[in-house]
Amino acid sequence: MEFSFTPDEELGGATGIGYLINRISKPNYAIVAEPTGLDTVWIGSMGGILQLDIVVRGGIPSHASQPWYGNNAFEDGIKVAYALIKELKPKIENRQFMSERATITLGGLVKGGVSRNIVPDYFQFSIDRRILPSEDTEDSLEELIDYINGLRSNINSSVDIYVISKIESSINNGSRLLSKLMRIISNTLHVSPRVGISRVPVDTRYLQRAGIDALTYGPGSIVSAHGPDEYIEVSDIIKSVDVYSRLIMEVYGDA
């Protein structure tokens, strides 16, 4: 039995568990103690993340008194963004897996323009795409690129697409550990546990992609995580330790 306390989870985990898993003997089972709530086990995460920057360039800037000498990168960028919102966004967010929806968010980061009296020759906005375990990250990227490419003929500015971050989603199908954990939660805490997936990336994905039977289960609510007055009830910590202990004893008993 081993415990890992690794940094970098908030930055993606590549230099934390992502680094560690390639330098240790791979375990048969693993539990990541994220705050799922005592009645919920995550078998995967829609932590698949695709973050893009869309950069629209109009060319030579012109003065607002003579706007016909330039291409308004802001107006062209808005056309691209509006088409994405109007047509592609509903299609993406209609996709579901285990009661969770795929999402796409535009404009988390927006840049452009240098002066009120200059036709903007540069406009940039971000796209954040959260990918379901049933989707493929590369296919999701290709979908966005193909759609934006189809809009180029309707604008005068050039459009560049930059991939800022790309994280795969993950899921543990056919877990042998899951039935043990669900039974122990039920018998120990006298609740009916549910199976779900995380809406955010968790370190469990590194373990699952390495072929380890890994699940996410821990005390606390994801609703309060990383928010104001973040907390976990001490009594919940004690209860989760009881579950972990019983699970370890059962796994060792089967070995």
Residues 61 and 130 in one domain: yes
User: For residues 208-231, b (16+ Cβ closer than 10 Å) or e, as one string?
Assistant: beeebbbbbbbbbbbeeeeeeeee
pTM of the predicted protein model: 0.76
Number of alpha carbons in the 13 Å side-chain half-sphere of residue 205: 22
For residue 113, tell me if it sits in a domain. Answer: yes
Residues 54 and 115 in one domain: yes
Residues 244 and 179 in one domain: yes
For residue 129, tell me if it sits in a domain. Answer: yes
Is the per-residue pLDDT at 206 higher than 90?
no
Mean of pLDDT values over 51-61 = 94
Residue 214's contacts (CB-CB under 8 Å, 6 or more residues apart) are: 29, 30, 31, 32, 172, 177, 204, 207, 208
- The pLDDT score that the predictor gives to residue 6 is 66
Residues 100 and 34 in one domain: no
Residues 88 and 151 in one domain: yes
Is the per-residue pLDDT at 238 higher than 70?
yes
Domain boundary among 167, 182, 208: 167
For residue 3, tell me if it sits in a domain. Answer: no
Least confidently predicted of 23-27, 135-139, 174-178: 23-27
Residues 34 and 144 in one domain: no
Tell which wins on pLDDT, 135 or 23.
Answer: 135
Residues 186 and 140 in one domain: no
- The pLDDT score that the predictor gives to residue 3 is 66
Range(s) of the domain holding residue 15: 9-46+170-254
Residues 216 and 140 in one domain: no
Band of pLDDT at residue 2, cut at 50, 70 and 90: low
Tell which wins on pLDDT, 127 or 228.
Answer: 127
CATH code of the domain covering residue 104: 3.30.70.360
Residues 139 and 37 in one domain: no
Residues 76 and 152 in one domain: yes
Is the per-residue pLDDT at 195 higher than 60?
yes
Band of pLDDT at residue 12, cut at 50, 70 and 90: low
Residues 30 and 59 in one domain: no
Q: How many domains does the chain have?
A: 2
What gap in Å lies between CA 229 and CA 166, rounded to an integer? 30
- Count other Cβ atoms within 10 Å, centred on residue 54: 21
For residue 236, tell me if it sits in a domain. Answer: yes
